[in-house]
Amino acid sequence: LRGVHKRYGVGGGLMARRRTLTAVAGVSLRVERGEVLGLVGESGCGKSTLARMILGLEAPSEGEVLLDGRPIASLGRLERGRLVQPVFQDPYSSLNPRRDVASIIGLPLIVHGVGTVAERRDAVAEMLGLVGLAPRHAEAFPSQLSGGQRQRVAIARALVLRPTLVVCDEPTSALDVSVQAQILNLLLDLKERLGLSYLFISHNLAVVHMLAGRVAAMYLGRVVEEGEAGRVLGAPQHPYTAALLASALTPDPSLGLPAMRLGTVFPNPLALPSGCAFHPRCPAVFERCAREAPALLPCPGGGRAACHLTGQDQHQAA
């Protein structure tokens, strides 16, 4: 991703002024071949919008999405499908209830006219085995499967064209905890066996820690910190990442950042705060923060962070 922005017009009408919602505000990121990049942040931070642009489901308002070095807009559907595929959160709504498992997994091959009937049947059988489903599941319908089995079908469908990158958007969030671990282990196993790369989006930092080699944290449409997973999750440089980690240790992480620790609620994305967008909630805020937006700059200990208190910025200022 090179300088990617995504803006939506919202509202408007007779009396109301049309306003702009900025979902992604200038993100540059790379996923290397064979790598798992974890993308973390509260809901509404732009993670899923970013995913949809990488999948070609939405076009950026500004900037470029490249797959294998080529602009995504220049790729045909089959080329794109062989480079990137999605696994979404809810395996039930993403599977057609009227199709059996074999036809769900084989559909991308039919849509793109890949292989003969016999070859497609073999490919589906191979995918079933790879994702740990039995041959008899080929004739089952989604309603006859458990949540974990349905997610295995969704993974098989994503992999049948043998993409190099898989965008996983909260792939285990809808599953029982016991099943989550099985699906995460399956994803790790498939990554090794098929040489896949993942962009792994999750609000669950423990899950990200288990899979990702590198982590990027997003806040209000921007990457605020990025680096090696052990460093970002072990010794975060950005106050937002630190707060995200602290909130993950509270009994109910779904409640988001603890208000007592950080002050105000999640800001309105229609009216982004001036300077550093995190400043109204930041426990380390100082005078410069509301005036000046920090750039994402290298940190002395590795990785990059966008905060006036870290990175090269501080050294330049000093």
Which residue lies nearer to ligand SF4 by CB, 208 or 243? 243
Which residue lies nearer to ligand SF4 by CB, 52 or 308? 308
First to last CA, the chain: 32
CA pair distance 235, 17, nearest whole angstrom: 44
Those residues whose C-beta lies under 8 Å from the C-beta of residue 181, and which sit 6 or more positions away, are none
Figure out which of the listed residues 201, 257, 276, 296 binds ligand SF4, where binding follows CB under 6 A: 276
Out of ligand SF4, Mg ion, none, which partner does residue 48 contact, by CB within 5 to 8 A per kind? Mg ion
Piece in contact with Mg ion (CB under 5 A), picked from 16-24, 33-41, 46-54, 299-307: 46-54
Measured from the CB of residue 243, what is the shortest distance to ligand SF4 in angstroms?
9
CA pair distance 220, 46, nearest whole angstrom: 7
Out of Mg ion, ligand SF4, none, which partner does residue 39 contact, by CB within 5 to 8 A per kind? none
The CB-nearest residue to Mg ion is 48
When asked if residue 219 is in the footprint of ligand SF4 (CB under 6 A), the reply is: no
Figure out which of the listed residues 1, 27, 48, 142 binds Mg ion, where binding follows CB under 5 A: 48
Q: Of residues 220-239, which lie at the interface with ligand SF4 (CB under 6 A)?
A: 238-239
Measured from the CB of residue 38, what is the shortest distance to ligand SF4 in angstroms?
20
Measured from the CB of residue 42, what is the shortest distance to Mg ion in angstroms?
10
Figure out which of the listed residues 282, 296, 299, 311 binds ligand SF4, where binding follows CB under 6 A: 282
Long-range CB pairs of 289-293 (<8 Å, 24+ gap) are: none
Q: Of residues 295-314, which lie at the interface with ligand SF4 (CB under 6 A)?
A: 307-309
* Residue ranges binding ligand SF4 (CB under 6 A): 238-239, 276, 278-279, 282, 284-285, 289, 294, 307-309
Residues lying near Mg ion in the complex (CB under 5 A) are found at 48
